[in-house]
Structure 1
Amino acid sequence: MHTNRLIHEKSPYLLQHARNPVDWYPWGPEAFQKARDEDKPIFLSAGYSTCHWCHVMERESFENEAIAAQINRDFVAVKLDREERPDIDRIYMLFVQATTGSGGWPMSVWMTPDLKPFYGGTYFPPDNRYGRPGFGYVLQQLAQAWKEQRDKLISSSISILGELESHSQVQSAGTDIDRGAFDSSYHYFRRTFDTHHGGFGQAPKFPRPSVLDFLFRYSVTAKEEEAREMALTTLREMAKGGMHDQLGGGFHRYSVDERWFVPHFEKMLYDQAQLASSYLEAYQITRDEAFAEVARGIFEYVLRDMTHPEGGFLSAEDADSVIDPANPHEKGEGAFYVWSMDELKQLLGADRALAFAQKYGCRENGNVDNDPHAEFTGKNILYLKDAYPAPEFEKERQVLLAERSKRIRPHLDDKVLASWNGLMISAFAKGAQVLHEPRYLDAATKALAFIQGQLVVDGKLMRRWREGEAAIAGFLDDYAALAQACVDVYEATFDQAHLAFGKTLALSMLELFEDKQNGGFYSTAGDSDELVLRLKEDYDGAEPAGNSVAAGALLRLAEYCELEPLKEAAGDTLAAFASRINQQGVTIPRMLCAVLESQAPKSEVKFSGEAEPLIQEFRKHFRPFTTVHWDRTGEASAMVCEDFVCQPPVTTASDLVKLIG
């Protein structure tokens, strides 16, 4: 067995590669010094532990003795967990996207010993196939180019980095945010909306909950019902699809087809968190119990399978899993989740199996047509042919779920990440309010206490915790997501201690990341000497951008804490992104939500006395721009204040509905 330096790391992804014949180094000064001493370029390979194509490239190339020898001879090999170090990953992913036109993981980048990239790509097969050059050939050509054309490589790298730096500058240009930016963003989503299956654009389809957040809020401010209906249709269709785990709850990463049927089977915590919030808002808007059921399914999945005993939430489950227990080294994508008709008949009985198969789209020979890798031959992905849920098959679902639990589970990435936990804490806090479920509030408060106890070290927030070790100074998105979570937990508990922690995080965020001159926030603190660029994140993709979350969190905290610096920082951030909002608002829909919040008339509900029934009634309604307060003294009542005008207090739920409904 080979053993390299990654054996001493905590990252599950790095540990997966700790016994490769490649002489891997973790990102850090030891690798950089070796590159300088030996005058070799650095080969950076970035990915994450639940990444399917990362596993493929490892099996094909990094476990290949001949290819490993090539890497070890000509390069210094560095492995990076992009979830632990998104700061590094973003910089080199920008380079890959700029030079190749696309990106993804595994990410492969070659750079100088002083960390300037000169060539990059994503997955490389071991030999020429799929229209891609073979990895061995690429290694050979780059080693030769480093020896013979080094000046040209370095000159090109410097030029590209300069362009990236200029394009990544975000600063106030004295431009006001145009109201038309919201309308144009809405019309873009309207043009790209799939009226048959929901979602936006063509396959593959990603959930991108930030878009749904914007559409729900735009529908309120613009009185545009179609915006709301696009989001609701998308959520309904996703709930029916194979991307939604019909047995265990929660959602897979994305759908490879346009109808949410065939998923990429990994499950990420940040998807669960954001989608749970979207389904809760859909439930508030419609009172359709189907949306509540999806949210409950997400929460139950996270509590069951992605929660650390001490309270933190774990990161992800792999797409690949063991096909046959007798051969545990043979894995296939989605093997844990799919079923043959013979299995259904054996477990459910012939008659109920046929009825179940008709409802869930199963066929005798499997229901995945045009399967390019033949991974699902004879197997069925469960999806609903008509509306979700299907309560008449609850017994069968439980039988299959119990049987599935006996299978070998996919790999679990059990690290705890601050930003993803912030998103999930927010979702549980909202779930406790909207669904009136104390267990969800317990999960939110326990996780927040875990973060405070384990990831705050000497007053500073760390990004990652695993096996008792907190490490890596927190980034903007860690501080922003947790500050936001503190507000959500406060609104669920009315405990001022949560606001105090949120205020502490927000003030630290301003100190560490704010661009005082130009507005907005850098993703990283200014004390790092190992980053060739310092970026301001400005795209709400699978995860919302740190600047978008920060702006929203600061606005809400400023309302509760009455701290002018927080409000000013939020305003400066929105001003810094004004041009981007006006020209490309569709790229930052979560920030559009923050702008709508900043422009909304001041709205408050003030509860007094034993007001729990009134509070419960209020929480049934979608009021995204309203702050809530509770003075537990006096008579039970609620006072609604809009735009600095307060109505007389009301004492009944029906009267409250008349004011807020």
Structure 2
Amino acid sequence: MHRFGTNKSIMTLAIGLTIGLGCRDKPAPSPTTNLKSSKNTNITTAPTVEPKKQTDHKYTNRLIKEKSPYLLQHAHNPVDWFPWGKEAFDKAKKEDKPVFLSVGYSTCHWCHVMERESFENEEVGALLNKHFICVKLDREERPDIDKIYMTFVQATTGGGGWPMSVFMTPDQKPFFGGTYFRKPDFMNLCERVNQLWNDKEMRPKLEGDADRVSAELAKISAGKPSPDAKLYQGMITNAVEQIKSTYDSRFGGFGRAPKFPRPSEPILVLWQSARSKDKDGIEMVTNTCDQMVAGGIYDQIGGGFARYSVDEKWLVPHFEKMLYDNAQLIHLYLDAYLVSGEEKHANVVHDIIRYLKRDMTHKDGGWYSAEDADSEGQEGKFYCWTKKQLEEILTEKEAKLAIDYFGITEKGNFEDHSHPDPLKNLNVLSIVDSKITDEEKTMLITIKKKMDTARNKRIRPHLDDKILSSWNGLMLGAIARASAVLNEDEYLAIAEKNYTAILKELWDPKTKTMYHRWRDGERDSVQLFDAYAFQLDGTLHLYEATLKAKYLEQAVTLADRMIELFYDKENGGFWQGTGNTGLIMRVKEDYDGAMPSANSVAALALLKLHKTTENKKYRECARSTLLLFSDRMEKQGSAVPYLLQALDFYLHEPYRVVVAGNPEDKEFQNALHEVHNQYQPNRVVIGNHGPVEEFAKKQTPEENGSPLVYVCSGSACQIPTIDPKKFKSYLKPSPPKSQIPEDED
């Protein structure tokens, strides 16, 4: 395996140190090589964080003035933390000290562990304060900075995760990094770094390594398309076969434990399998959906999915719940519902949205970021049950059903052995016996209500209540689509309220600026590509769910501003940040991990916008993005499944479905629902008002004011109809005619 070379002075830092633990996403393959995943420690052996006692604070640092929940968690550490910014690096230059950067997020279990063991420890604090300028960063607030240094950690160690620990020069160039360190190892590491930094012979070598690695990372991150880059169907086919080869036929899912839902994978497999009528591929995805929702990764009482499962059975989750996971899973279960026709898949969508509405929504309509895995200092305590606890709140008959249905045992299936006084006999709820009678189904509703009432008396996990425009954009698209597919007016109201809230708090109409984070009445000043790309995606879904012209107009504004700020006209693709951020490099993200990359989302959204508005600029920007990452799609297709969805949309002529009429009319809305109730990813839905009015009216002459549906492919349209059976027959999932203009490829 290729890694960046490092001299012996730096490599000795790693001797005897544990750097493989941490809260993880599936590691992204390097643009030049597959990076080795770090070994993950099972949740049941993870150190447990003791609950913090409410006392007068002995220490208060600069983080107390921040808005990030993660930074505020560290505001009373004895470490003299700085937030990322000019002040910290100016001080490092003035005092000639290296910078220690610690990156995490507020719902990260291992971040809590390292804080408790090291950052709350006065001895460690004194060591850090003496030798380093210490910077804390919330990766969710600044994914652009996180990406730079995570790329370094992955390239030099073979793995990554959070908390991320990086030592760098005062000009931001990293020379050593890892993830979680136990206290003795961390103190030893700090001493060794200090020795090297102050060694007249070793320091030039250390700084030279930092310069060289930073230059190499910048070169890789920028990227240039191959002069002979091609875009072809085989890229998609090969990736789908690669993903399918990792399918777990026993427990569902793709890959081994720890298992991540990573929805962009099954969504791509389902898309291609439905088109080719591959029953095996369809079964893989629907079975995966069924296995996940029956497992402990799904909250059987409150709804919503946890981040991942530590085992192959989807039984024991890493309990934190993320907004972005649940947004993508709504799309996956909507797809499964449209393909299978089974209400059980739609019911999962209803449950996720109920969870979102109840636990993750600000009063003005914005959506919070995440819920922690820990409560009262222990992971999973809020979600797990003993047999005795169930027997205390349920009748004898109810308890017997619950014990059988959820697989409850006296011994339990989850225990934290590392805690000095571990919680004994705990059970993670999963569906073990789903074959129950109608009478038992009714009883189960009562059981869940009683369990929910009892659980709500417990201390809840920490809520990360910052509102991110990027993650809200992902969920906006999911809720808007759910409203159209499931014909739920309430969901549309939720989506429109969120859209209004984000425009109010994070959008500046005068400068056409979409800011990244809002919390506690204040927004940040950061502009990120992710915010524009994900908001563009969400707004397009909202337009297609309503066909209200104002949403398409906003989508056009977002797309134009996104291209202006982030598009690389020379080499294609989009930079993650603007050019004036003061960082050591600009990066272009393409890996579709726990979240799809913004380049992938933007490529598909721009292709849809081109098909909707006929503005060729959008297609050209999407095409250049695909060409930039063509080598990745060809050689490591399973790393970019969402980008391959965009490639599929590019390679095949998509349907254009025009619904003519008044969007406020109920008959129009019913017709629109029927359009969305057909599984056909390669299509756009447009109205005959707003930016598309000229095109639409050429295709859709007025006919007595009644709504009509026109299904068009290329320049030809089918006979208009209001009959769902007819226009559904026009939208068959068989492959449309391939469209690859000769002058482009």
User: How does the TM-score come out when normalised to structure 1?
Assistant: 0.95
| Structure 1 contact 27–80 (Cα < 8 Å) conserved | yes
Which of 416, 426, 437 is the aligned partner of 2:477? 426
Tell me what 1:107 maps to: 164
Q: Give SS of 1:192's match.
A: coil
| Contact preservation (8 Å) 2:480, 2:545 | yes
How far residue 375 of structure 1 moved from its aligned partner, in angstroms, is 5.2
Aligned to 1:363: 409
CA contact (8 A) 1:460 1:473 kept: no
Structure 2 unpaired stretches of 5+: 1-57, 662-666, 690-701, 733-745
1:211 is aligned to 2:265: yes
Tell me the equivalent position of 2:574.
521
Cross-structure match for 2:390: 344
Q: Letter of the aligned partner of 2:192 in structure 1?
A: Q
Confirm or deny: 8 A CA contact 2:232 2:651 kept in the other structure: no
Q: C-alpha separation between the residues in 2 aligned to 1:651 and 1:244?
A: 39
- Could you tell me which residue of structure 1 aligns to residue 515 of structure 2? 462
SS at match of 1:79: strand
2:139 matches 1:82: yes
**1:76-135: per-residue Cα shift (whole Å, max 9, x none)?**
0100000000111111111111111110000000001111111111001112xxxxxx11
Within 1, Cα distance between the matches of 2:468 and 2:672?
32
Tell whether 2:63 aligns with 1:6.
Answer: yes
Amino acid at match of 2:295: G
Residue 399 of structure 2 is matched in structure 1 by: 353
Secondary structure at 2:303 match in 1: coil
Instruction: Please name the residue that 1:382 is paired with.
Output: 429
Q: Which amino acid aligns with 1:228?
A: I
**Superposed counterparts of 1:175-574, under 5 Å:** 175-322=229-376, 331-368=377-414, 377-387=424-434, 391-392=441-442, 393-457=444-508, 458-529=511-582, 531-574=583-626
Inter-partner Cα distance in structure 1 for 2:223 and 2:433:
46
Pairing partner for 1:154 from 207, 221, 237:
207
| Code of the aligned partner of 2:432 | K
* SS, match of residue 644 in structure 2: helix
Distance in 2, Cα, partners of 1:473 & 1:369: 42
In 2, are the aligned partners of 1:50 and 1:317 still within 8 Å (CA)? yes
Q: Is the 8 A contact 1:186 1:227 kept in 2?
A: no
Amino acid in the other structure paired with 2:352: I
Q: CA deviation at 1:628?
A: 1.7
TM-superposed CA distance for 1:403, in Å, is 1.3
SS, match of residue 33 in structure 1: helix
What SS class does the counterpart of residue 102 from structure 2 fall into? strand
Q: Cα 1:387–1:625, aligned 2, differ >3 Å: closer, same or farther?
A: farther
Equivalent residue, structure 2, for 1:327: none
Cα distance in structure 1, aligned partners of 2:109 and 2:295: 21
- Equivalent residue for 2:105, pick from 48, 60, 75: 48
Q: Is the 8 A contact 1:171 1:520 kept in 2?
A: no
Q: Which residue is 2:632 aligned to?
A: 580
Deviation string, structure 1 residues 550-576 (Cα, Å, up to 9, x no partner): 101111112222222112111111121
How many pairs align? 646
- 2:198 alignment partner, SS class: helix
Looking at structure 1, the residues matched to 424 and 655 of structure 2 have their Cα atoms a distance apart, in angstroms, of 56
Shift of residue 512, structure 1, vs aligned partner: 0.8
8 Å contact kept, 2:415–2:425: no
* Secondary structure of the structure 1 residue equivalent to 2:571: coil
Counterpart code for 1:34: K
2:189 alignment partner, one of 138, 160, 168? 138
- Cα gap change, 1:261 to 1:10, in 2 (>3 Å): same
CA distance in 1, matches of 2:231, 2:558: 28
The SS at the match of 1:596 is helix
Distance 1:96 1:375, change over 3 A: farther
1:21 and 1:87 mapped to 2: Cα distance?
A: 28
SS of residue matched to 2:525:
strand
Residue 274 of structure 1 aligns to a residue whose secondary structure is: helix
User: Aligned partners of 2:372 and 2:210: how far apart in 1?
Assistant: 35
Q: Deviations over 1:430-473 (max 9, x none)?
A: 11011111111111111111111110134311100001111132
SS of aligned partner of 2:687: strand
Question: Mind listing any 5+ residue stretches in structure 1 that lack a counterpart?
Answer: 128-133, 323-330
Tell me the SS of whatever aligns to 2:175: strand
Match of 1:325 in 2: none
Secondary structure of the 1:108 match is strand
One-letter amino acid matched to 2:407: G
What is the alpha-carbon root mean square deviation over aligned residues? 1.7
CA deviations on 1:268-327 (whole Å, 9 max, x unpaired) are 1001101011111111111111111111111110111011101111000000002xxxxx
| Structure 1 residue 372, shift from structure 2 partner | 6.5
> 2: CA distance between counterparts of 1:185 and 1:542?
18
Match of 1:33 among 90, 95, 114: 90
Q: Deviations over 1:503-561 (max 9, x none)?
A: 111111111111101111111111122x1121110100001101000101111112222
C-alpha distance after superposition, 1:21-79 (max 9, x if no partner)? 00000000111011011110000000000000100111110110111000000000100
Distance 2:355 2:68 in 1: 23
2:656 and 2:684 in contact (8 A); partners too: yes
Counterpart AA for 1:415: K
**Which amino acid counterpart does residue 383 of structure 2 have in structure 1?**
Y
TM normalised by structure 2 equals 0.84
Of residues 636, 652, 657 in structure 1, which corresponds to 2:728?
A: 657
> Aligned partners of 1:230 and 1:252: how far apart in 2?
21
1:653 aligned partner, one-letter code: P
Q: Is the 2:101–2:137 contact (alpha carbons within 8 Å) kept by the matching residues of 1?
A: yes
The CA deviation at 1:369 is: 7.4
Cα deviation 1:357-411 (Å, max 9, x = unaligned): 1111111121237967685531111000145998441110111011111111111
Preserved CA contact (<8 Å) 2:274 2:339: no
How far apart, CA to CA, are the structure 1 residues paired with 2:620 and 2:231? 16
Letter in 1 for 2:257: A
Instruction: Name the % identity.
Output: 46
Q: Would you say the 8 A contact 1:43–1:77 is kept in 2?
A: yes
Tell me the SS of whatever aligns to 2:209: helix
Moved more, 648-657 or 4-13: 648-657
Q: Is the 8 A contact 1:110 1:117 kept in 2?
A: yes
Does 2:209 correspond to 1:124? no
Displacement of 1:631 in angstroms is: 4.3
